[in-house]
Amino acid sequence: MFLPEFHQTRGGAIVSPLLALGWLTAGTSRIKLGTMVLATSLHNPVRLAEDVLMLDHATGGRVILGPGTAHVPVDFELYGRPRGQAGAITD
């Protein structure tokens, strides 16, 4: 099961796919869980690594991380991140 990450969308969005995946793991013991594209350039890299590590540990190694850069200008403004450095931040 894979979930995307979207911020500031109309009609609902998954703003924290790792949290949602953590909640979903309570109902399964075999399904692999992951992010379609996690907007890594919006996250603190250490905190993101810790959250993914904890989720992977809690699920017995069933987490698949799909990192990517964010692209919506207002998301960068909201998070105070430099949009022009999204690729470098993700790397």
Spatial contact of 7 and 78, defined as CB atoms under 8 Å apart: yes
pLDDT at 7: 87
pLDDT at 2: 93
pLDDT at 61: 95
pLDDT at 53: 96
Spatial contact of 7 and 15, defined as CB atoms under 8 Å apart: yes
Rounded Cα–Cα distance for residues 25 and 80 (Å): 31
Q: Mean of the per-residue pLDDT values for the chain?
A: 91
- 39-83 residue pLDDT tens: 999 999 999 999 999 999 999 999 999 999 888 898 999 999 999
pLDDT at 11: 74
- 81-91 residue pLDDT tens: 999 999 998 88
Return the domain boundaries, the chain: 2-90
Give the pair of three-digit tokens for residue 3. 């979930």
Spatial contact of 52 and 15, defined as CB atoms under 8 Å apart: no
Res. 27: pLDDT tops 90: no
Does residue 81 sit in helix, strand or coil?
A: coil
